[in-house]
Amino acid sequence: MTRVFSVVLLLAAVLVLGGCYDYSEPDEKAWILALGLDKGKQNVLTVTAVIAIPKGIAGGGGGEPAAGGGGGGKFFTVSLEAPTLLSSLELLDAVVDRRADMSHIKWLVFSRALAEEGIGRYFGPITRFHQFRRSTHLVVCEGRAEDFLKQGKPILEDNVGKYYELLMRGWRYTEFIPFDTFHFLYQKSNTPGVEPVAPLAALNRKEPVYRNDTPKPKGAYQAGRLPRKGGGEIEIMGGAVFSKGRMVGTLDGDQVGVQKMFFGNLRRTIVDVPDPEHPGFYVIVDVHPRYTPRVDVRIGEDGLPEIAVRVALEGSIMSIQSGEDYESPERLPVLEKAVAEAYLTDINKTVAKSQALGADFLGFGLHAKKLFLTWPQWVAYDWDAKYPDATVTVSVDFRVRRVGLIHKTEPLR
Amino acid sequence: MSRYKPVVGVSEGITLLFIFISSKVFLAHITFILHDGMNASWVIPFINTFTGLLGVLLLVAVLDRHPGKDLVEIGDELAGPYINTLFALYYLVVLVSGAGFALRFISERVVAGFLTDTPISMVTLSFLAGTVVVAYLGLEAVARTARFLVGVLVVSTLALVVLTIPFWQWHVFYPLLGWGAWEVLQGALTTTGNYVQILLLGIIYPFLPRGKARLVGVWGVLIAGFFFTLMVLVPLLIFTYPTISEMTLPTFEMARIISIGRFGQRMEVVFLPIWVFANMIFITASLYGGAAVLARLCKLGDYRPFVPAVTVFTTVAAFIPQNVSQASYWNHDYLTRYSFYVLVVILLGLRLAARLKGGRGAENDQGV
């Protein structure tokens, strides 16, 4: 009798543990893959949700194979006017037949106009809400986020979520895409002595950006000003600098590369260096950091920071347009010096920009706080106020390690 | 205390004790440490471990003079039934309120992060259903459950730590002294209650192998201290100060932030067993301990009739706070801050009583 009772009790327990209250079928959810926020037209905010159409991603069902390769992302967007970001979730349930769920969100897109007004007020609510994850990417887009998300269809991917993830994963292969996920962005926003940089994105600009064909470093571009035809509608290049929850400026591709180098997130970059001996020609070098830049900070007698930076890079020669024999050991220093100087210029420009913006997005303050014994002392020093007047000295050392598959260039005859 | 005398081995004892002390690192407790120590909070568990060690040595010194007896029986012998009733009620309050808060926190955590539409009463019921059965089965069942699950707990916890290494930021150690040396020390001195759970050693003492209580106590506290330090340090390294101080459940956020390519995300469910098992073992041991204290207090040989009563007390204690914030603050104010000192005062009182009674008490089999 006891055993029978135990079995009945166990079965009853299994029923309870099945979680009837939180019963939810994945095919009864509307999976939001991106949320866009704009200044509202009929309310405080226009919230745009990108919702996946799973049938389009996974195939027709009934054992049919996935469609595959069609691209287009298989999603639809809904834009709602709402007073707050999270209240739009409930509004969404009034519009979409499936229950909206943010658990798989990849991007949180703010329009530049809203970001410049200040988006700090949206950070707190987001981190508190259980469906939101700090691994999400916060993106700032030129124009309205509503249009950006609606028109930003992938070409290669059926799954728009995968498209968003792979696009952002470009930070590994190019220096032009910032690394900061929401986790790092929020943390840097909270921490004295450092400011965050969010990826800057835009739709493909149809009309020409530049009026002439003068040489421009490729890293001088930023999203919305990238001369191109074809490809997907979305481009990500450059960064949006934040300070105290408000966007205060933008960085071009090269400046983002420098910012990533200071946080150890720059893996490699291809640098076009003007040939030191043949004007109009380029030497193309694949560059890797040897180690994260060494930063020494001291407080000068005037109370202002004095920052010394040592950058160490190495790389391989990819191409020498002029055919000049730079590969020989005695000629390599010429090339190394040219690359180091090019990088030094980029770093100095980036440092100057950070001081002009009054936003230490290179994180010098994280090194400066080692000089203080206690947190109150560090906060009282008021790094943000002193950083714009800091003296920053940068030295760059570049070494060629490999010369590619050509041992010695023979000139064309 | 029941029909037969249970036997708890050394490794089972150590496992049970360290899980009982350190399971709280998976709940909101460490948030308060982070408030006290700022970016130097990782020092606080070190100091706490040291005080915990002193406490456990004092406890063992009291216990070893009365082999075969638990703390309640020793109190009865040394302090007399009236004063000992106060002592025993204190043990009961520590065990029941600790279990009550743990029950509330783990239930709230499940509701906050996993079963968001399920009423908390259902979640609580599920936790109690499992824990009451094991507590009713007795100390051997409790200890063996802990020993059985410790592998899962340790491996999962270490995996959780290792998988977050890419997020560690070393600048968090600076400024070195955080809020200030004195303030950090104060923080440590007002969170000693994290080790009040050494009390369990006083309850299971008669069932441990003779002469091994010190070994069990010291290793239990040291291993707990390791996990305590780890679970304060790692969230600090990941989220850095001051962001970490905002979080209700740092270890939950640790699991949520893991990202290993496109397919290695949303891994908190993988780590759910850590939080559930650790806290279920804590609640089970508390229910058993509470029932054992009551049985001793009533001078009954069997603890089992008291398990349902202690379960009811625990459930009531869990729901006295009106909300989870109140529960967190009450737990910190009433259990974490000063409960350890009260236990130390009781133990010192018992040592003093032993001296005043003139005898050295019974020696254990090693003559210690």
Burial class for A328, CB neighbours closer than 10 Å (0-12, 13-18, 19+): exposed
pLDDT confidence of residue B251: 87
Mean pLDDT calculated for residue range A244-262: 92
Q: Which of A104, A134, A191 has the CB atom closest to B240's CB atom?
A: A191
Cα–Cα distances (Å) from A353 to A114, A259, A367, B24, B179, in that order, read 22, 11, 19, 47, 33
pLDDT confidence of residue B359: 55
Distance in angstroms (rounded) separating the CA atoms of residues B80 and B76: 5
Q: What percent of chain B has pLDDT over 90?
A: 58
* For residue A159, pLDDT beyond 90: no
Return the half-sphere exposure (C-beta side, CA atoms, 13 A cut-off) of residue B222: 8
Taking only Cα atoms into account, the Rg of chain B, rounded to an integer number of angstroms, comes to: 20
Residue of A21, A29, A136, A184 to mutate, testing the B interface (most B Cβ within 10 Å of its Cβ): A21
- Min Cα–Cα distance to chain B from A204, Å: 26
Mean pLDDT calculated for residue range B289-295: 94
Dihedrals phi, psi of A54, to nearest 5 degrees: -60, -35
Inform me whether the C-beta atom of residue A191 falls under 8 Å from chain B C-beta atoms. yes
Q: Quick one: pLDDT band at residue A149, thresholds 50, 70, 90?
A: very high
Q: Quick one: pLDDT band at residue B2, thresholds 50, 70, 90?
A: very low
pLDDT confidence of residue B364: 45
* For residue A66, pLDDT beyond 50: no
Q: Are A327 and A335 in contact (CB under 8 A)?
A: no
| Residue partners of A23: CB distance under 8 A and separation at least 6 | none
Q: Which residue of B has its CA nearest to A20?
A: B118
pLDDT confidence of residue A357: 94
Q: Are A379 and A293 in contact (CB under 8 A)?
A: no
Helical (H) or strand (E) element with A36: strand A29-39
- State pLDDT tens for residues A175-228: 889 988 899 999 999 899 999 999 999 998 877 777 887 777 777 888 888 888
Inform me whether the C-beta atom of residue A213 falls under 8 Å from chain B C-beta atoms. no
Return the half-sphere exposure (C-beta side, CA atoms, 13 A cut-off) of residue B31: 19
Q: Are A151 and A162 in contact (CB under 8 A)?
A: no
Q: A272 in helix, strand or coil?
A: strand
Q: Are A139 and A235 in contact (CB under 8 A)?
A: no
Distance in angstroms (rounded) separating the CA atoms of residues B248 and A247: 28
* For residue B367, pLDDT beyond 80: no
Which residue blocks in chain B are alpha helix, DSSP H? Answer: 10-22, 29-37, 43-63, 71-113, 120-137, 139-163, 181-189, 199-204, 213-239, 250-257, 272-297, 306-319, 324-330, 339-356
Amino acid identity at B360: R
The number of angstroms, rounded, from the C-alpha of B366 to the middle of its chain's C-alpha atoms is 29
- State pLDDT tens for residues B5-59: 668 889 999 999 999 999 988 887 788 888 888 889 999 999 999 999 999 999 9
Q: What percent of chain B has pLDDT over 70?
A: 95
- State pLDDT tens for residues A311-320: 999 999 998 8
Residues in chain B, total: 368
Q: Which two tokens stand for residue A197?
A: 């940089």
- According to DSSP, residue B256 is labeled H
pLDDT confidence of residue A65: 46
Cα–Cα distances (Å) from A126 to A132, B116, B194, in that order, read 6, 17, 31
Distance in angstroms (rounded) separating the CA atoms of residues B78 and B290: 21
Distance in angstroms (rounded) separating the CA atoms of residues A253 and A231: 19
Distance in angstroms (rounded) separating the CA atoms of residues B75 and B205: 14
| Residue partners of A339: CB distance under 8 A and separation at least 6 | A271, A273, A283, A285, A287, A313, A315, A398
The number of angstroms, rounded, from the C-alpha of B310 to the middle of its chain's C-alpha atoms is 17
* For residue A63, pLDDT beyond 70: no
Q: Which of B118, B259, B266 has the CB atom closest to A21's CB atom?
A: B118
| Residue partners of B263: CB distance under 8 A and separation at least 6 | none
Residue of A6, A22, A33 to mutate, testing the B interface (most B Cβ within 10 Å of its Cβ): A22
Mean pLDDT calculated for residue range B281-307: 92
User: pTM for the complete prediction?
Assistant: 0.89
Chain B interface, Cβ < 8 Å to A: 38-39, 112-119, 122, 125-126, 129, 167, 171, 174-180, 239-243, 246, 253, 256-257, 259, 262, 265-266
Q: Which of A183, A369, A374 has the CB atom closest to B180's CB atom?
A: A374
- State pLDDT tens for residues A68-85: 455 666 888 999 999 988
Nearest CA to B113 among A238, A131, A12?
A131
Peptide bond into B242 cis (omega under 30): yes
Q: What percent of chain A has pLDDT over 70?
A: 93
Return the half-sphere exposure (C-beta side, CA atoms, 13 A cut-off) of residue B284: 30
Which residue blocks in A18-66 are alpha helix, DSSP H? Answer: 54-58
Distance in angstroms (rounded) separating the CA atoms of residues A54 and A52: 6
Q: What is the residue-wise DSSP string for A302-355?
A: TS-EEEEEEEEEEEEEEEETT-----STTTHHHHHHHHHHHHHHHHHHHHHHHH
Q: A301 in helix, strand or coil?
A: coil
* For residue B350, pLDDT beyond 90: yes
User: Tokens 């939001």 appear where?
Assistant: A32
Packing angle between helix B250-257 and helix B29-37, nearest 10 degrees? 100
- According to DSSP, residue B333 is labeled I
Burial class for A123, CB neighbours closer than 10 Å (0-12, 13-18, 19+): middle
Burial class for B24, CB neighbours closer than 10 Å (0-12, 13-18, 19+): buried
Burial class for A222, CB neighbours closer than 10 Å (0-12, 13-18, 19+): buried
Q: B241 in helix, strand or coil?
A: coil
Inform me whether the C-beta atom of residue A16 falls under 8 Å from chain B C-beta atoms. yes
Q: Quick one: pLDDT band at residue B363, thresholds 50, 70, 90?
A: very low
* For residue B365, pLDDT beyond 50: no
CB contact (8 A) between residue A21 and residue B171: no
Q: Are A200 and A140 in contact (CB under 8 A)?
A: yes
Burial class for A322, CB neighbours closer than 10 Å (0-12, 13-18, 19+): middle
Inform me whether the C-beta atom of residue A186 falls under 8 Å from chain B C-beta atoms. yes
CB contact (8 A) between residue A130 and residue B167: no
* Model-level ipTM above the cut of 0.95: no
Q: Which residues of A touch B115 (CB under 8 A)?
A: 19, 21-22
Q: Quick one: pLDDT band at residue A103, thresholds 50, 70, 90?
A: confident
Q: Which two tokens stand for residue B232?
A: 């304060």
Distance in angstroms (rounded) separating the CA atoms of residues A152 and A188: 29
Packing angle between helix B213-239 and helix B29-37, nearest 10 degrees? 70
* For residue B1, pLDDT beyond 80: no
CB contact (8 A) between residue B266 and residue A133: yes
Distance in angstroms (rounded) separating the CA atoms of residues A130 and B249: 11
CB contact (8 A) between residue A187 and residue B239: yes
Q: Are A236 and A139 in contact (CB under 8 A)?
A: yes
Amino acid identity at B178: G
CB contact (8 A) between residue A183 and residue B175: no
Q: Quick one: pLDDT band at residue B229, thresholds 50, 70, 90?
A: very high
Q: Which two tokens stand for residue A135?
A: 């691994």
Residues in chain A, total: 413
Cα–Cα distances (Å) from A32 to A258, B11, B325, in that order, read 33, 49, 31
Inform me whether the C-beta atom of residue A386 falls under 8 Å from chain B C-beta atoms. no
Q: Quick one: pLDDT band at residue B281, thresholds 50, 70, 90?
A: very high
